[in-house]
């Protein structure tokens, strides 16, 4: 892959010339008319293999099909919920109120990160375990077997989050520095994009909430099947929305870091929907699954841990969130983009920096904190009116709040990812400050101190 040189900054080709230069020998070769990398040599353009194109189209069509079917299901369940007066009064208000709180907390984290990244980072790491613990206490108050099991999970999670926050507290300064460097200046119209996506997710989540209320009327196994389908659909849809935002913002920031070009976020967002949705749908599945496998490798301590960790480390090569940068910039398939970015990290020795980065944990804990607020609102309301569904509502509200906040926090993760990928492609670019070289030096020094033999005095 050719690197960008400041002495050879790309020139922008007029729109009508770009359209004349559109390749005609396959969808994979065609880049958007607004694509800035039309200026590159032909050998730097990525030509996806037919299998990759097939999978991208397949996943895109599956996403549209699933969204159409789930809309029909939710509409039917919503009508059923509205017909049932008892169900409407007992379940809908707490869930809808928690959905509104989800939107408010998601936007709060967005603006706090925008104006004070260091404070937002520390708030996420300390508020998340506290709110999770509070949810556990509310669930204990319910008193049922299901609520006690859920409360136990919440309390154990709160303890784990607290221990993790203490363990990584020494990395807070570097993480805050990275957030400040990568998010300033903020790409134009990013806040507007975040507000619009959160608003869309709020409407969709409210629709889901009322649909879940309708599913409870069915009762028995049919209710469980309906709720499971709705929650799986909610998870995939929210992941796709989040990753579309990530592809768009990372493309804008990459262009700024790599060659000083300005691209409107709205243009990048529309291009991501039009040209990269298939890759985003693939990535939304792979990153979630591989992330779960890696988490299990980190947690489980048994005889085959090394083998399991090796498999998990191998899998991340084929599916990682940094691949979304190349999906947006080069219109690559997600697997190829993940492989290329990870190979660059290995080549320039950036893996230790990536492994010690807290941006992903920060965004995750923002989601947990937001989910905790939503669960507290929904669960407390249910307890107050004694509707007997406090545990269910708390779980549904938590998931809605978590996914909503992850959508609103996709932009800082995109900025950091673009920063690392652009640096790996050209570490000599004068647009980069010494943040990464200093961090590499710190990690090397720490590793050297750890590897030094300890001398003891024998008496």
More confident residue, 50 or 235: 235
* 27 has a pLDDT exceeding 70: no
More confident residue, 88 or 95: 95
Q: Which of 264, 200, 253, 220 lies closest to 404 in space, CA to CA?
A: 200
- Any domain includes 33: no
pLDDT at 187: 87
- Any domain includes 451: no
- Any domain includes 14: no
Averaged over 219-239, what is the pLDDT?
88
Averaged over 321-327, what is the pLDDT?
94
On whether the CB atoms of residues 180 and 118 are closer than 8 A, the answer is: yes
As for how many domains the chain has, the answer is: 1
Per-range mean pLDDT, top range of 124-138, 203-217, 220-234: 124-138
On whether the CB atoms of residues 404 and 204 are closer than 8 A, the answer is: no
19 pLDDT band, cuts 50/70/90, is: very low
- Any domain includes 17: no
Averaged over 271-285, what is the pLDDT?
92
435 pLDDT band, cuts 50/70/90, is: confident
Structure tokens belonging to residue 201: 């997710």
Least-confidence region, from 51-65, 228-242, 394-408: 51-65
| Percent above pLDDT 90 for the chain | 53
Averaged over 420-428, what is the pLDDT?
92
- Any domain includes 86: no
> CA 183, CA 366: separation in Å to the nearest integer?
17
Domain range spanning residue 384? 50-78+92-301+320-425
Structure tokens belonging to residue 214: 């309708």
- Any domain includes 432: no
- Any domain includes 185: yes
For the chain, give the mean pLDDT. Answer: 82
- Any domain includes 37: no
* 3 has a pLDDT exceeding 90: no
> CA 358, CA 361: separation in Å to the nearest integer?
5
Structure tokens belonging to residue 193: 């994009």
What's the pLDDT tens digit per position in 356-399?
A: 899 999 999 999 999 999 999 999 998 888 767 889 999 999 99
Q: Which of 127, 151, 124 lies closest to 137 in space, CA to CA?
A: 151
């Amino acid at each position: 892959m050719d690197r960008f040189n400041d002495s050879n900054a790309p020139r922008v080709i007029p729109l009508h010339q770009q359209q004349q230069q559109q390749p005609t020998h396959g969808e994979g070769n065609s880049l958007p008319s607004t694509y800035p990398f039309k200026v590159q040599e032909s050998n730097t353009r990525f030509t996806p293999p037919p299998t990759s194109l097939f999978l991208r189209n397949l996943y895109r069509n599956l996403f549209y099909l699933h969204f159409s079917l789930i809309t029909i299901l939710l509409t039917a369940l919503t009508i059923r919920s509205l017909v049932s007066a008892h169900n409407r009064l007992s379940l809908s208000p707490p869930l809808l109120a928690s959905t509104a709180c989800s939107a408010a907390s998601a936007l709060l984290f967005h603006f706090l990160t925008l104006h004070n990244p260091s404070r937002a980072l520390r708030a996420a790491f300390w508020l998340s375990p506290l709110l999770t613990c509070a949810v556990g206490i509310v669930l204990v108050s319910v008193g049922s077997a299901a609520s006690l099991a859920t409360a136990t999970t919440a309390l154990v999670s709160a303890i784990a989050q607290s221990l993790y926050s203490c363990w990584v507290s020494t990395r807070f300064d570097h993480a805050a520095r990275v957030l400040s460097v990568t998010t300033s200046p903020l790409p134009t119209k990013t806040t507007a994009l975040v507000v619009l996506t959160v608003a869309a997710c709020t409407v969709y989540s409210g629709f889901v909430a009322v649909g879940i209320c309708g599913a409870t009327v069915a009762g028995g196994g049919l209710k469980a099947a309906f709720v499971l389908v709705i929650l799986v659909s909610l998870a995939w849809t929210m992941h796709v929305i989040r990753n579309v935002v990530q592809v768009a913002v990372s493309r804008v920031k990459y262009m700024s870091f790599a060659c000083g070009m300005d691209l409107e976020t709205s243009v990048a967002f529309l291009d991501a929907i039009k040209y990269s949705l298939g890759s985003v749908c693939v990535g939304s599945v792979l990153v979630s699954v591989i992330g779960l496998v890696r988490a299990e490798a980190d947690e489980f301590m048994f005889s085959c841990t090394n083998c399991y960790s090796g498999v998990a480390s191998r899998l991340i090569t084929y599916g990682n969130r940094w691949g979304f940068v190349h999906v947006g910039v080069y219109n690559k398939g997600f697997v190829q983009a993940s492989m290329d970015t990870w190979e660059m990290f290995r080549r320039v020795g950036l893996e230790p920096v990536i492994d010690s980065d807290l941006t992903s944990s920060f965004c995750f804990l923002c989601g947990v904190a937001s989910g905790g607020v939503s669960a507290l609102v929904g669960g407390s309301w249910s307890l107050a009116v004694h509707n007997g569904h406090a545990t269910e509502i708390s779980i549904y509200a938590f998931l809605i709040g978590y996914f909503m906040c992850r959508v609103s926090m996709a932009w800082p993760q995109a900025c950091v990812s673009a920063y690392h990928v652009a640096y790996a492609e050209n570490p000599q670019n004068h647009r980069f400050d010494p943040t990464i070289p200093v961090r590499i030096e710190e990690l090397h020094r720490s590793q050297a101190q750890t590897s030094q033999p300890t001398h003891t005095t024998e008496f």
